[in-house]
Amino acid sequence: MKAAVGLALMATVAAGCGGASSVSPDAPVLQVYTGLYPLAQAIQQIGQVKVAVTDVVPAGDDPATYVLDPHQVSELRQAGLVVEIGGGFQASLEKAAAESPDVLALQATLGASDPYVWLDPNVMQRAVAAIAKAMEAANPGAAGLYRDGEQDFAASVQSTGIDYESTLSACPRSTIFTADDAFGAMARDYGLQDEVVGSGAAVSTSAVAAAAAHVEADGATTVFAEPWVSEGAVVAVAAAAHARIRTLDTLAGPPEGGWPPQANYLNLLESNLGSLSSALGCPNTDTGND
């Protein structure tokens, strides 16, 4: 089953986008496929009226382990462009895309050490530029429109990055405790340390005790769980350290039933920032975020 992407990004993003004069009358609508929600959002904002983007992963399924059905495989082989992370991050999608005529593998293109490029606004700006360049090459008649969309969306991502920098630089603590290393590269880029407490359903008593000791020594009050990652270790460590559990979402894909209608990649990224700043005791933090 395929899920076409409908967006409700902030009006300021859409309002600045280029008009019909940026598009050749003969430019087709570019058919782009991906398997990650943030990339689908970026593609739509860049492409505007000259792109039809499909996120092949249904809401509620783990994008990293989702297996494409035969119809989706056939569609990917005929796509105008497939945008993936690469490096085995989504094995089923990458296998199908290997026979597609045009594929952008972002991790290799960006030289990124971490596949979660969209969690770091600084890296995501470069990803947006790479996506726009690939779209321009695939559909030259709409290149002007794509450049306009890239500039507007990249500016919004940059603004979010400024929020991350100004907020996280003022925090009294700098260590976050998470279920796995998805947030490691982002943390390092903003002067934080990501300490992984373990993602297994079962964890040894000694490992729990050691992780809990680190949480307590840091003065941390929060251990972060993530969607699609077993909470066994997180629950055990949080209990031993007398810390609460909150969710830090990788945003790779929406939960079952989808996110609220007003949600989009940018405000979900800001929501993550609220959770981080609250956990780190940053000033002017809205502690009501869950």
Mean pLDDT of the chain: 90
Decide which of 134 and 289 is more confident: 134
Give the architecture-level CATH label for domain 3-165: 3-Layer(aba) Sandwich (3.40)
Rounded-to-integer distance, Cα 247 and Cα 165, Å: 21
Place of tokens 């809205």: 286
pLDDT at 207 over 50: yes
pLDDT of residue 199: 65
pLDDT at 20 over 60: no
Instruction: Please give the model's pTM, rounded to 2 decimal places.
Output: 0.90
Domain spans of the chain?
3-165, 171-250
Q: Is the dihedral of CA 188, 9, 53, 1 positive or negative?
A: positive
- pLDDT tens across 166-190, in order? 999 999 999 999 999 999 999 999 9
pLDDT of residue 22: 67
Rounded-to-integer distance, Cα 194 and Cα 204, Å: 21
For residues 226-246, average pLDDT: 94
CB distance 10 to 156 below 8 Å: yes
From first CA to last CA, the distance across the chain in angstroms is: 31
- pLDDT tier, 202 (very low <50, low <70, confident <90, very high otherwise): low
**Tokens read off for 107:** 């991790």
With both helix axes pointing from N to C terminus, report the angle between 205-218 and 232-241 in degrees, rounded to the nearest 10.
50
pLDDT of residue 2: 40
CB distance 25 to 12 below 8 Å: no
Going by the DSSP 8-state scheme, the letter that residue 115 receives in this structure is: S
Look at strands 244-247 and 222-225 and give their pairing: parallel
Contacts with 158 (C-beta within 8 Å, 6 or more apart), sequence order: 121, 125
Rounded-to-integer distance, Cα 156 and Cα 133, Å: 18
Residue type for position 124 = M
Decide which of 290 and 272 is more confident: 272
pLDDT of residue 27: 86
- pLDDT tier, 200 (very low <50, low <70, confident <90, very high otherwise): low
The CATH code of the domain at 171-250 is: 3.40.50.1980
pLDDT of residue 201: 62
Note whether 3-165 and 171-250 share their fold: yes
**Tokens read off for 79:** 């796509």
pLDDT of residue 226: 95
Going by the DSSP 8-state scheme, the letter that residue 141 receives in this structure is: G
Q: Is the dihedral of CA 234, 255, 63, 274 positive or negative?
A: negative
For residues 50-66, average pLDDT: 97
| Residue 37: CA count within 13 A, CB half-sphere | 25
